[in-house]
């Protein structure tokens, strides 16, 4: 029960008071992510310098899970090297599929509370929207 309470509180906090939901004027990577089945629509904005994510933000609308997951993701990847952010996204997506080890899940810090989304198939696309969008952006970003 304590885990469910923490999960709910964390999602509510990141949805109602997101730290990263704003326009990032100096972003050098911008990509829209859309989940048509739920109506989630985000515009992910990253500032990447020397292959490191130095800042990030998102705009848009959607359900609490999509918005909170994107905010949690940005908390985690800001300051990371591009390759580490991509590894975190891969780990997150494998966690959602039930394929990640406990150690890998623990490495996701706050994002690990979304592990139970795998038991809610209609919500999976909501939780992974920001992560897929970020992966697509960074995989297309060539080393400078």
Kindly report, residue by residue over 51-76, the tens digit of the pLDDT: 999 999 999 999 999 999 999 999 99
Residue 102, pLDDT score: 95
Confidence band, pLDDT 50/70/90 cuts, at residue 1: very low
Which residues fall within 8 angstroms of residue 52, CB to CB, at 6 or more apart? Answer: 79, 80, 81, 82
To which H or E segment does residue 134 belong? helix 121-140
Token output for 86: 């991509």
Q: Is 57 helix (H, G, I), strand (E, B) or coil?
A: strand
- Asked if the model's pLDDT at residue 49 lies above 90, the reply is yes
- Asked if the model's pLDDT at residue 143 lies above 50, the reply is no
Confidence band, pLDDT 50/70/90 cuts, at residue 6: low
Phi-psi region of 14 (alpha: psi -120 to 50; beta: other; left: phi over 0): alpha
Q: What is the pTM of this model?
A: 0.90
């Amino acid at each position: 029960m304590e885990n469910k309470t923490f999960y709910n509180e964390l999602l509510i906090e990141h949805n109602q008071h997101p730290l990263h939901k704003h326009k990032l004027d100096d972003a050098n990577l911008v990509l829209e992510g859309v989940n048509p089945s739920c109506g989630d629509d985000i515009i992910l904005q990253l500032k990447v310098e020397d292959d490191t994510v130095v800042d990030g933000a998102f705009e848009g609308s959607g359900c609490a899970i999509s918005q909170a997951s994107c905010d949690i993701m940005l908390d985690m990847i800001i300051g990371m090297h591009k390759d580490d952010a991509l590894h975190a996204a891969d780990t997150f997506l494998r966690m959602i599929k039930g394929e990640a080890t406990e150690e890998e899940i623990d490495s996701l810090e706050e994002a690990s509370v979304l592990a139970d989304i795998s038991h809610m198939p209609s919500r999976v696309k909501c939780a992974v929207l920001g992560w897929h969008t970020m992966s697509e952006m960074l995989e297309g970003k060539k080393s400078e």
